[in-house]
Structure 1
Amino acid sequence: MSERLAISRRSLLAAIGVGGALLAVPGCRSAADESTKSSGTAKKGGTLKIAQSADIAPATLFGQNNPNFTLARTVFNTLTQYDHKTLEPKPSLAESWTQTEDGKSITLKLRKGVTFHSGRAFTSADVRFALENLTKDTTASQLKHVALAISKITEVDEHTITLDLAHPVSNLFDLFEILLIVDKESIGELLKGTKIIGTGPFKVASYTPGTGYELKRNDAYWKKGAPLLDAVEVSVVGQSAAMVSSLRSGGTHLLVDVAPLDAASIKSDDQFEVTVSDAHDSGFYIASNVKVKPLDDKRVRQAVAWAIDRDRVLSQVLGGIGTVTSLPWATSSPAYDKTKAAHYTRDLTKAKALIKAAGAGGKTVKVLYNAGLATNAKIAEIVQYDLTQIGLKAQAEPLQAADFLAKLQAGTLPGLFINGHGFGQLHPATLVKGAFPFNADKNASNFDSAKYRELADQLWQATTDAAAKEAADAVNDLLLEEQFVSDLVASSHTFTITKKVQGLSWTMYDYLDLDQTSIG
């Protein structure tokens, strides 16, 4: 089996000089060790009860959407799954693969004996469907650009498929990691949430929109001995404090992304643990609509970057989970650069000088955020205060979730906006070609730059380590200079659990992997 990438992930890590350092967070469990905890003698049976703050959105399963973390890998499988320590792709529904030396063709050998929950056999036709579905205008995915680069799909036989590419792509396995293999016969019902069928360890037994859903063990699952659990119940609990109360009372066993300060309240209780994901793909940022004055002047955007107290955001809002940064990358990314990540610190003198040079003193800027996210609301308070210290009239303005997201996607947020992003943990091309805040082709800031598009394509299509490093360095320099997005903290998703839960795992996109999870 060849696991050759268009760019060798491991050699690129070495070339750029990045280690695999993980965040050290007092009172939190190390994800690197715990996510692989052996459950060979684990108790079988039982129902795992999970609480999350927002309902799943089946129509968004083709890209990363946080509320789907509990659904994506429990009901579905992907072609490959990254090893957390080496970042090398490992077999899942694809047992092996061979890739041509020019990186323009890959042949996948698919696993035999796999069936969908409906009983239908999984074949290469299902992979074709999943890939072609991703290219539709109606399908949203951060990896759509990779699917669109596939020029030809050949079903060699029922369990062999060849993909020919228009050009080499460095993040092909990022696509394979996120591409859920869905049942093509019920795709319409999947989008409506009325029938959700995959090949994964659990079947959807029931789903009540806005309330939650129930999963039952898939006795025909292709992994022998898995899953250990009989069932999983997922409840939607809107308030973070209520989630913690449910955990304390024994009503739930696992909380997904509880507010950091609420999670901190149980760190000292030896019955519970806050597990920090080693994917480190949760970045918090403030961005600018560059069509709105005075944010059309990059000196003002740079002043904002110098003004924000990142350390305060980290400690007072995120409970110390993460590291302050000026770049969007996790330490696992080949584009991570420790020196450049420390470029912007709080320096009010520099910020004031830039505001004066831009003639922006006394100008009004809106600071918009999703009112339904307590974390972003607290960041907005800090940002508003810090900007007033450099002579801007900052006005924090909450928007309802639907309104905020609609304006974010349309690029019509009228000022600065606070949000979170992912896709900083794997290949950097996925972020600059797909993550909406940074997409070089179209982004929420309306930042339009031929140079940025050129660099993004160079990073995406690089065929040597030297070319990839050069492109990554240039992208970092451009991001630091233009500041249409100002990253504040590189953080992580968390899983807050009772210690009865053993063998918890997740993918590098933070989708829960419950194949070997048990309740002691």
Structure 2
Amino acid sequence: MTGQRGQPARRTVLAAGLLLGTGPLNTACRSAVAEQQGSGGGPRHGGTLHMVQGTDILPAFLLSQINPNFSVSRTVFNTLTELDHRTLRPRSSLAKSWRVSDGGRTHVFQLRDDVTFHSGRPFGPDDVVFVLDHLTKDTTSSQVKAVARQVTSAERTGAHEVTVGFGKAVSNVWDMFEMMVVIDRESVADLASGREIIGTGPFTVESYKPGSSISLKRNRHYWKPGRPYLHGIEIAIAAQSSTAVASLRSGQTHLALDLSPLDAAGIRDRPGFRLVQSDAHDLTYYIGANVTVPPLDKAEVRQAVAWAVDRERVLAQALGGIGRPSSLPWSPASAAWDPDRAAAYTLNPEKAKRLLRQAGAADAKVDLYYSNTLATNAAIAQIVQANLEDIGLTCRLRPKQDAEYQKLFVSGKIPGLFVNGHGFGQLTPSTLVKGAWPFNAQHNASNFRDPEYSRLAEEIWTGKGDALTAAYRDLNELLLEEQFVIDLINSTHTYAIQDSLHGLTWTMYDGIDLDNAYLA
């Protein structure tokens, strides 16, 4: 794609040691309806939910959005507010109410007076002040750190009141409060290691065996009367998606988090099970390009890659049909979503070849990196390799162990193309370009730097009205032209469940919410 920036827009056999229990759970098949609010006589107390996920939790990263923590970020913790899925407006949680003044620069929160941490200590304004300060530290990983660093003051202004002042009004302040789990300041020194994981949420951590399992029990002092219904949750770690599927089908597991899309698709029509797709739609698979590595330093080469990839084949063969092709990072709920521009790149090998010739890269070689522990990413990489060979690029696959891959990724030192998935396309667009590592305008995994990109990132962070609309349009055109992130498929996180589980919900950052969950 060679259009000019700023043109008007057109619109993841049961293995031993999983600790999943010795006998099958209740696998009675009830009506496989899609609704989640209950059946079979309504909610009831009791029972232990058995869950399986592919990777271990990472307590050190609880203040950022990462897949391994989806099982604990909302079951063990709470946030000040929670975003409504339909309106994307904040709703009360630990904060009962709030008022915003001074053009969005001052937020005064009235906090609940009936909340205690799992240690028994009362929750209060000082805990909010602590977490806001903790977010700003260099040692804290968070995609909303830029917002926290705009906080100029945070103080107790009443027994149950906290006032937060910002240096300037920014558009994604509620994204920060949605992601900002309230951790316990008295045990924070032991949080990263997992020795102490203390929150205010519906379940307490009874035991944590790194790499193996997490055991949660009902918080008898939870601030929501009568909740939760479940008496406990047992979370097993199963590195292979096929192992999670086997435990689900055998009746040993009620809920499997984020199966590989192909495995998830296999559950979809199986009697007694349901595949629930998150309405956040915040998982987009993409190819990243290190723009400092020839020939990827030329935009025409990156555009050629974008035209060469068969997105429909990726969707069908790697993702089991879960998602939609997209050339932009946004989900349809985003203010920056533009359906026409999201369809800007389609399969066009001839155009890709022309761009390679223009760039003098017709016989070039590229390396394509991916984590070999993620079956979906490996499948995408193989399709991309074949597509690039079709246009004359020699593409060498470079699978890496996940730890090595992640080290290269977070340091911006992947020397070529790379397959990955990103989030943050579902909420305020500024959170993606100011914090998400693939897109961060100041520093990103592709090493892409551009003054106009930085200006637009700032504009959508602070702009309003017509200026903001124009900034979204211009940002989309820049992303489509530069292609340092080559978006392929806008997909979603999935929850494969037995029909006996009801009341499952989740946050707009995909932390599972089991406040109202029960086993029929």
> Paired residue for 2:51?
50
Q: How far 1:267 moved relative to its partner?
A: 2.2
Q: How far 1:266 moved relative to its partner?
A: 2.4
Contact in 2 for aligned 1:39/1:518 (Cα 8 Å) = no
Contact in 2 for aligned 1:125/1:158 (Cα 8 Å) = no
Runs of 5+ unmatched residues, structure 1: 1-15, 19-28
> Paired residue for 2:276?
275
| 2:517 corresponds to 1:517 | yes
- SS of the equivalent of 1:185 reads coil
- SS of the equivalent of 1:227 reads coil
Name the aligned partner's letter for residue 324 of structure 2: T
- Which aligned pairs between 1:290-439 and structure 2 lie closer than 5 A? 290-439=291-440
> Paired residue for 2:499?
499
Name the aligned partner's letter for residue 454 of structure 2: R
Contact in 1 for aligned 2:126/2:155 (Cα 8 Å) = no
Name the aligned partner's letter for residue 441 of structure 2: A
1:324-343 Cα deviation digits (max 9, x unpaired):
00000000110000010000
| 2:167 corresponds to 1:158 | no
1:211-268 Cα deviation digits (max 9, x unpaired):
0110000000000110000000000011111111101111110000111111222222
- SS of the equivalent of 2:418 reads strand
> Paired residue for 1:6?
none
Q: How far 1:152 moved relative to its partner?
A: 1.1
Q: How far 1:289 moved relative to its partner?
A: 0.2
TM-score (norm 1): 0.93
TM-score (norm 2): 0.93
> Paired residue for 1:480?
480
Cα distance in 2 between the residues matched to 1:359 and 1:217: 63
Change (3 A) 1:17 1:408: same
Contact in 2 for aligned 1:52/1:236 (Cα 8 Å) = yes
Q: How far 1:283 moved relative to its partner?
A: 0.6
> Paired residue for 1:7?
none
- SS of the equivalent of 2:268 reads coil
Q: How far 1:158 moved relative to its partner?
A: 2.7
1:262-294 Cα deviation digits (max 9, x unpaired):
122222222001000000000100010000000
Contact in 2 for aligned 1:38/1:503 (Cα 8 Å) = no
- SS of the equivalent of 2:516 reads coil
Contact in 2 for aligned 1:36/1:505 (Cα 8 Å) = no
Contact in 2 for aligned 1:283/1:422 (Cα 8 Å) = yes
Q: How far 1:192 moved relative to its partner?
A: 1.0
Change (3 A) 1:225 1:492: same
Contact in 1 for aligned 2:301/2:359 (Cα 8 Å) = yes
Contact in 2 for aligned 1:39/1:503 (Cα 8 Å) = no
Change (3 A) 1:38 1:75: farther
Q: How far 1:104 moved relative to its partner?
A: 1.1
Cα distance in 1 between the residues matched to 2:101 and 2:35: 36
Cα distance in 2 between the residues matched to 1:135 and 1:301: 35
Runs of 5+ unmatched residues, structure 2: 1-8, 12-31
Cα distance in 1 between the residues matched to 2:496 and 2:349: 37
Change (3 A) 1:39 1:79: farther
> Paired residue for 2:237?
236
Q: How far 1:39 moved relative to its partner?
A: 9.8
> Paired residue for 1:149?
150
Cα distance in 2 between the residues matched to 1:327 and 1:40: 44
- SS of the equivalent of 2:407 reads helix
Cα distance in 1 between the residues matched to 2:450 and 2:186: 42
Contact in 2 for aligned 1:34/1:504 (Cα 8 Å) = no
Contact in 2 for aligned 1:51/1:237 (Cα 8 Å) = yes
Contact in 2 for aligned 1:80/1:94 (Cα 8 Å) = yes
1:335-369 Cα deviation digits (max 9, x unpaired):
00001000000001110000000010111100000
Change (3 A) 1:36 1:355: farther
Cα distance in 2 between the residues matched to 1:473 and 1:167: 23
Contact in 1 for aligned 2:284/2:491 (Cα 8 Å) = yes
Q: How far 1:40 moved relative to its partner?
A: 8.7
Name the aligned partner's letter for residue 230 of structure 2: L
| 2:97 corresponds to 1:63 | no
Question: What is the identity percentage for the equivalent residue pairs of Structure 1 and Structure 2?
Answer: 50
Name the aligned partner's letter for residue 127 of structure 1: V
- SS of the equivalent of 1:34 reads coil
| 2:467 corresponds to 1:467 | yes
| 2:101 corresponds to 1:100 | yes
Q: How far 1:139 moved relative to its partner?
A: 0.4
- SS of the equivalent of 1:246 reads helix
- SS of the equivalent of 1:75 reads coil
> Paired residue for 1:13?
none
Cα distance in 1 between the residues matched to 2:40 and 2:442: 45
Cα-Cα RMSD: 1.5
| 2:181 corresponds to 1:193 | no
Name the aligned partner's letter for residue 271 of structure 1: G
| 2:76 corresponds to 1:75 | yes
- SS of the equivalent of 1:232 reads strand
Q: How far 1:38 moved relative to its partner?
A: 8.2
Name the aligned partner's letter for residue 53 of structure 1: G
Cα distance in 1 between the residues matched to 2:35 and 2:78: 22
Contact in 2 for aligned 1:39/1:502 (Cα 8 Å) = no
1:435-494 Cα deviation digits (max 9, x unpaired):
0000001000000111101100100011x2322211111111100010000100000000
Name the aligned partner's letter for residue 311 of structure 2: R
1:51-101 Cα deviation digits (max 9, x unpaired):
001000100101011000001000000010111111111000011111115
